[in-house]
Structure 1
Amino acid sequence: MNIGIVGLGLIGGSLGLDLRGRGHKVLGVSRQERTCQIAIERGAVDDASMLLSILTDVDIVFICTPIFAIAPTIKQLIPIISPDTIITDVGSVKRAVVEAVTPLWQNFVGGHPMAGKEYNGIEWAESGLFAGNPYVLTPIDTTPPWAVKRLEEIVRSLTSHVYLCHPEDHDRAVAWISHLPVIVSAGLIDACMGETDLVVLKLAQQLASSGFRDTSRVGGGNPELGVMMARYNRDFLHKSLLSYRQSIDNLIELVEQEDWQGLEKRLQQTQETRSQFYS
């Protein structure tokens, strides 16, 4: 199968490595010639160009651009590709994307691979990035079933765990487990940097190990991605932030009142329920 990838960063490059490894011909598009060359050298694509015209004969196109560029990119693709071409994206927000793109292209299937790193760019692309991780597809009533089936087969070949759901349900869910953690993690880093005693701050930085590294990782990632999450999933992220603030306020109250029994009970609850988020 001929597959196109627009946007050769971490996700696009990793997709290319895996898809080529499964025998597909992969053609890539990037805004930078240097990225095209690196993608070719690393084996992420068979060929790459700064021009969308390289994708004339592809069967599926993965749009791996920032969220704001997805619809404009598809508008540019429409005169180039066949009417039977399937288009999908990898954006972390689905409702806004699906609403914007579906009127433009009937064979569009929203997608979101739940995998990544705190770093971006073709240099960080790796084979097997999606293996064992969730990959969400968000078809709607008007999405052609054959397009969903074909894309699902491709995604399953990456050994991802495929989930199909409505775009709005996706956005509500990821607001809790993806978008909220980014903002909370960023807040943790920001709060730590508020320490006014420079000696204490320096010591904290020197002592920071696995606990701080784990909880601060997503807050130290690509700022553009964080802004896109908040901008395009504002309503659901806002709701989750308010709920989180209430939870923090409750914990503050327990500490202020020296209610150690109550705090222990709360921590026991979180210890027991955390496993429900991991299968």
Structure 2
Amino acid sequence: MPEPTGQSSLRGPVEVIGTGLLGTSIALALRAVGVDVLLSDVSSEHLRTASGLGAGRVRRPEDRPQLVVVAVPPDHLGEAITGALAASDAVVTDVGSVKSAPLAAVRELPGAGRYVGSHPMAGSEQSGPLAASATLFDGRPWAVTPHAGADVAAVELVEELVRACGATLVLLTPEEHDRAVARTSHVPHLLASLVAARLAEAPENHLALSGQGVRDVTRVAAGDPALYSQIVSGNADAVLALLGEVRAQLDDVMAAVGAGDRDGLRTVLERGVAGTRAIPGKHGGPPRAMASVWVQVPDHPGELARLFADAVASEVNIEDVRIDHDPGRPVGLVEVVVDEGRAEHLRTSLESRGWTTQR
């Protein structure tokens, strides 16, 4: 995490309104680099927990923050941002996942130039201050979305916040941001929920065939429905536009399946492959060709550590790891993702050390 310097415009104190996962994580990250943090929350329990974790001190009436970070649920963003702008002359940002809606609530207000939206692309399936971490944002993209009337100094201060938290700055307009998150987050979440819903009333003997593929596709559907309904409805225009495209493509798929049109199906599937390859690769670089090596791992303590040690001995860098928790197998199946050119070497090396791989 970067250390504060004499050139930094972020001196503090920084007030964090909302001490859930994101708010408390921001506070902890700022405290780690020596910035004074003030905490506010309508929940006295969250406030007490966050301050007990060392995230900052409870704001007093006489405190004058330099920057206010609003980290409240989407339905309350506009009200909280408006209140923060009226309460002091501080720069105000928020970390909500939709940017056009809160901007519309404050655009015509006095002091609107001190508001600069932002959105860290980081989180967890857990919530609340106890799930927070000072390293939550390390290396993660964090969008800063200045509007046309934003003060230059305010934009620069929010950029300093991003750097102080260890994140990677991404500059977007509010409209660009909302289209981007609709494509990469909101619509995928809805589609995962639709797929997962087909499982909710499935016969038990159907569910017995569940494998890692369906787990991968439906994982994000386990998110909090109340929160995600706020997020999606707040980004309705961008989400509806993409859902319209998906609906048209679904009609094409249904027509191809009904007609036995394998060429049409192949076209759809090839587009899907192209989409997976468009996702940025390691450290934000271009995607690289990867391959999976599937290894059977006994369900005993220390076996994963032994597998990783043997992979190190094979001089192969592991890029990703997934574990298939199939209850029907007496052993776990670990998917080790490596550079495509090193997969066969790793497979052979592990087999020579007594591991069973799937070919």
TM range (shorter): 0.7 to 0.9
Q: Secondary structure at the match of 1:23?
A: coil
Q: Secondary structure at the match of 1:272?
A: helix
Aligned to 1:214: 216
Letter in 2 for 1:200: N
Summarize the alignment of residues 44-55 of structure 1 with structure 2, pairs less than 5 Å apart. 45-48=55-58, 53=60
Letter in 2 for 1:96: A
Q: RMSD between aligned alpha carbons?
A: 2.0
1:276 equivalenced with 2:278 (yes/no): yes
Q: Secondary structure at the match of 1:217?
A: helix
Cα distance, 1:118–1:253 mapped onto 2, change above 3 Å: farther
Q: Residues 170-205 of structure 1, C-alpha deviation per residue, up to 9 Å, x if partnerless?
A: 11121111110111111111122242xx3325525x
Aligned to 1:257: 259
Identical columns (%):
29
Which contiguous aligned blocks of 4+ residues in structure 1 show a shift greater than 6 angstroms?
none
Larger C-alpha radius of gyration, 1 or 2? 2
Q: State the shift of 1:257 in Å.
A: 3.0
Aligned to 1:88: 93
Summarize the alignment of residues 143-162 of structure 1 with structure 2, pairs less than 5 Å apart. 143-162=150-169
Q: Residues 30-64 of structure 1, C-alpha deviation per residue, up to 9 Å, x if partnerless?
A: 22221112112222x22136xxx558311111100
Q: Is the 8 A contact 2:28 2:56 kept in 1?
A: no
Q: Is the 8 A contact 2:84 2:92 kept in 1?
A: no
* 2:135 equivalent among 128, 132, 154: 128
* 1:11 equivalent among 22, 37, 46: 22
Aligned to 2:345: none
Q: Is the 8 A contact 1:4 1:55 kept in 2?
A: no
Q: Is the 8 A contact 1:119 1:222 kept in 2?
A: no
TM-score (norm 2): 0.69
Q: State the shift of 1:78 in Å.
A: 4.2
Count residues in correspondence. 268
Q: Is the 8 A contact 1:180 1:240 kept in 2?
A: yes
Letter in 2 for 1:238: L
Deviates more, 1:259-268 or 1:240-249: 259-268
Q: Secondary structure at the match of 1:128?
A: coil
1:98 equivalenced with 2:121 (yes/no): no
* 2:44 equivalent among 21, 33, 37: 33
Q: Secondary structure at the match of 1:58?
A: coil
Letter in 2 for 1:263: L
For CA contacts below 8 A with separation 6 or more, give which structure has more relative contact order.
1
Gaps in structure 2 of 5+ consecutive residues: 1-11, 285-359
TM-score (norm 1): 0.88
Cα distance, 1:54–1:126 mapped onto 2, change above 3 Å: farther
Letter in 1 for 2:39: G
The answer to which structure has the higher helix fraction is 1
